[in-house]
């Protein structure tokens, strides 16, 4: 999951909850630019203008004016073939940032320097990938969403080392964690696998959240709390996507039983080196052409054989 995969899951859940099958109608160091709140709407038809490739960004923020992107994920849903694809881009990838005086920095710094517009441009320049829409959520939004959707928490295995490192309110072994502690769990990266272990924990939590949400919203109690969940939840994200587009893609995913997604992690195994630069710190110096090609093949292929990881 990570913060971002959870946001996408949340959008799908909201879409399924608000969609009515018998009335299927999809019409409808600079400061980051202001984004449009997700509750805005328009009359652009989903079928005529499907949301192609969009960027999901988890923000490393606790209220600061400027923040770095903690999680970067590119998602693509093809309505015709009912395919959902998710490509995670590791935040420490050392890439060219347009307009940056020293030219290269970690990709997550692009958001800090110029918000979503610069991050989109950076992805285009380095990976030849055009972004159509953006969804963002910060740490507080993530914690609130977890507690809103799964008030009973999520069960995970926690180590003593993780507890000490992240100051977690938990005990070694199996724990049922809530928003604050789950955020610490998915952000922990000081084990032998470093940031890559963090991504694995994020994917683990995504699957568990999916099951917890499905169980809750499928109950009688879930039906009664849905109106409040929808109203409160949509206020926790920001996006330039119109509400009808969100409802359209989400309802199609749910109605067509898209139970799984194809995943790709950038950089691929064997295509990067650990480097250290004074202005950027520890980075992943990646082979741009190889990873660009991998992304191109991943998003253009209809095969189910593209679950490449580092």
Confidence of residue 203 (pLDDT cuts 50, 70, 90): low
Report helix angle 139-149 to 194-217, nearest 10. 40
Element containing residue 238 per DSSP (H, E): strand 238-239
In a domain, 200, yes or no: no
The pLDDT of residue 25: 33
pLDDT given at position 174: 95
Tokens for 78, please give them. Answer: 């093809």
Any domain includes 149: no
Is pLDDT above 70 for 75?
yes
- Would the pLDDT of 34 be above 80? no
| Higher local confidence (pLDDT), 101 or 68 | 101
CA-based nearest residue to 198, from 166, 169, 176, 224:
166
Is the residue at 127 inside a domain? yes
- Distance (Å, rounded) from C-alpha 261 to C-alpha 269? 20
More confident site: 116 or 2: 116
The verdict on residue 252 lying in a domain is yes
pLDDT band, very low/low/confident/very high, at 281 (cuts 50, 70, 90): very high
Cα radius of gyration (the chain): 19
pLDDT at 192: 75
Residue 154 belongs to some domain of the structure: no
User: Quick one: pLDDT at residue 82?
Assistant: 65
Helix axes 107-127, 288-300, angle to 10 degrees: 70
Task: With CA atoms as reference, report the closest residue to 69 among 41, 44, 39, 97.
Answer: 97
Strands 83-89 and 93-96: unpaired
Rounding to the nearest 10 degrees, give the CA dihedral for residues 291, 292, 294, 297: 180
Alpha helix positions (H), the chain: 2-18, 107-127, 139-149, 160-166, 179-187, 194-217, 220-233, 243-255, 288-300
Distance CA(26)–CA(20), nearest Å, equals 11
Give the model's pLDDT for residue 39: 35
pLDDT at 220: 65
Instruction: Answer whether residue 204 is part of any domain.
Output: no
Per-residue pLDDT at 92 exceeds 90: yes
Does pLDDT of 40 surpass 50?
A: no
Q: Highest mean pLDDT: which of 36-45, 161-170, 203-212?
A: 161-170
Query: Beta strands 262-266 and 154-158: pairing type?
Result: unpaired
Q: Report yes or no on 83 lying in a domain.
A: yes
Give the best-scoring range by mean pLDDT among 122-136, 201-215, 260-274, 292-306: 122-136
How would residue 190 be classed by pLDDT, with cut points 50, 70 and 90?
confident
The residues near 236 (Cβ < 8 Å, ≥ 6 apart) are: 137, 141, 144, 145, 148
pLDDT at 150: 85
How many structural domains is the chain composed of? Answer: 1
Share of the chain above pLDDT 90, in %: 35
208-255: per-residue pLDDT in tens? 776 777 677 666 666 676 666 666 776 777 777 666 666 555 555 545
Bridge partner residues of 136 (DSSP):
57, 238
The arithmetic mean of pLDDT across residues 273-295, rounded, is 97
The answer to the question of residue 93 being in a domain is: yes
Dihedral class, residue 255 (left if φ above 0, else alpha if ψ from -120 to 50, else beta)? alpha
Task: Report the pLDDT value the prediction gives residue 155, as an integer from 0 to 100.
Answer: 94
Percentage of the chain with pLDDT > 70?
A: 63
Contact 56, 111 (CB under 8 A): no
pLDDT tops 90 at residue 60:
no
Task: Please give the residue that has the higher pLDDT: either 232 or 165.
Answer: 165
**206 pLDDT more than 90:** no
The answer to whether residue 70 scores a pLDDT higher than 90 is: no
Closest by Cα among 30, 19, 235, 188 to 115: 30
Placement of tokens 């999680």 in the chain? 71
The domain that holds 98 is classified in CATH as 3.30.420.590
Domain around 104 = 2-140+219-300
Question: Considering the chain, what is the average pLDDT of its residues?
Answer: 75
More confident residue, 107 or 142: 107
């Amino acid at each position: 999951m990570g913060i971002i995969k959870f946001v996408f899951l949340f959008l799908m859940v909201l879409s399924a909850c608000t969609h009515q099958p018998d009335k299927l109608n999809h019409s409808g160091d600079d400061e980051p630019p202001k984004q449009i709140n997700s509750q805005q709407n328009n009359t652009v038809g989903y079928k005529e203008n499907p949301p192609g490739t969009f960027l999901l960004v988890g923000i490393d923020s606790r209220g600061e004016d400027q923040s770095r992107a903690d999680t970067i994920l590119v998602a693509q849903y093809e309505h015709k073939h009912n395919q959902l694809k998710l490509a995670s881009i590791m935040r420490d990838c050392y890439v060219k940032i347009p307009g940056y005086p020293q030219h290269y920095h970690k990709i997550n710094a692009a958001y800090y320097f110029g918000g979503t517009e610069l991050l989109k441009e950076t992805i285009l320049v380095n990976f030849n990938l055009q972004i159509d829409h953006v969804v963002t959520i910060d740490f507080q939004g993530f914690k609130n969403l977890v507690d809103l959707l799964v008030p009973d928490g999520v069960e995970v295995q926690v180590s003593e080392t993780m507890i000490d490192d992240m100051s977690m309110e938990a005990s070694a072994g199996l724990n049922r964690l809530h928003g604050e502690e789950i955020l610490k769990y998915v952000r922990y990266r000081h084990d032998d696998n470093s940031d890559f272990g963090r991504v694995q924990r994020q994917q683990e939590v995504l699957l568990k959240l999916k099951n917890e949400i499905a169980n809750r919203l499928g109950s009688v109690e879930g039906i009664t709390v849905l109106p409040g969940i929808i109203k409160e939840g949509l206020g926790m994200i920001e996006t330039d996507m119109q509400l009808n587009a969100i409802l359209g893609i989400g309802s199609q995913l749910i109605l067509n039983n898209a139970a799984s997604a194809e995943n790709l992690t950038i950089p691929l195994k064997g295509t990067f080196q650990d480097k250290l630069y004074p202005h950027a710190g520890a980075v992943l110096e990646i082979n741009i052409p190889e990873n660009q090609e991998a992304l191109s093949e991943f998003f253009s292929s209809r095969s189910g054989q593209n679950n490449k990881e580092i």
